Structure 1
Amino acid sequence: MDAIVQVLNINNTLVAQVFNFIMLLIFLRVVVYPHIVKMLEDRQNFIANNVAAAEEERKQAELLHKQYLDELQKAKNEAQSIVQKASKAAEEQAHEIIEAAKAESNRIKESALQDINREKEKAVAELRDQVATLSILVASKVVSEKITADMQRGMIDEFIKEAGDLPC
Structure 2
Amino acid sequence: MKFNATLLAQFFHFILLLIFLRIVAYKPVANMLKSRQEFITNNVAAAEEDRKQAEALRQQYLADMQKAREEAQAIIQQATKAGEVQAQEIIEAAKTEANRVKDNALQEIAREKEKAVAELRDQVASLSVLVAGKIINQTITPEIQHGLVQDFIKEAGDLPC
Confirm or deny a common fold (TM above 0.5): yes
Which position in structure 1 is the counterpart of 2:43? 50
Once the two structures are superposed, what CA deviation does each residue of 1:15-53 show, in whole Å capped at 9, x if it has no partner?
A: 321221122012111111122212211321222122112
Once the two structures are superposed, what CA deviation does each residue of 1:80-124 show, in whole Å capped at 9, x if it has no partner?
A: 211221221122122212211221221122111101111101101
Which position in structure 2 is the counterpart of 1:139? 132
Stretch of structure 1 that moved more, 134-143 or 87-96:
134-143
Which position in structure 2 is the counterpart of 1:98? 91
Query: What amino acid sits opposite 1:130 in the alignment?
Result: Q
Which position in structure 2 is the counterpart of 1:116? 109
Which position in structure 1 is the counterpart of 2:152? none
In the alignment, does 2:32 pair up with 1:14?
no
TM-score scaled by structure 1? Answer: 0.72
In the alignment, does 2:31 pair up with 1:38?
yes
Which position in structure 1 is the counterpart of 2:157? none
Which position in structure 2 is the counterpart of 1:64? 57
Number of equivalent positions:
136
TM-score scaled by structure 2? Answer: 0.75
Query: What amino acid sits opposite 2:123 in the alignment?
Result: Q
Which position in structure 2 is the counterpart of 1:75? 68
Q: CA RMSD in A?
A: 1.8
RCO higher in structure (CA 8 A, sep ≥6)? 2
SS in 2 for 1:53: helix
Q: Which runs of 4+ in 1 moved over 6 A?
A: none
- Identity among equivalent pairs (%): 65
Once the two structures are superposed, what CA deviation does each residue of 1:110-166 show, in whole Å capped at 9, x if it has no partner?
A: 11110111110110121122122222322333335xxxxxxxxxxxxxxxxxxxxxx
**Gapped runs of 5+ residues in structure 2?**
138-161
Once the two structures are superposed, what CA deviation does each residue of 1:38-83 show, in whole Å capped at 9, x if it has no partner?
A: 2211321222122112211211111111111211121121022112
- 1:138 and 1:82 mapped to 2: Cα distance? 82
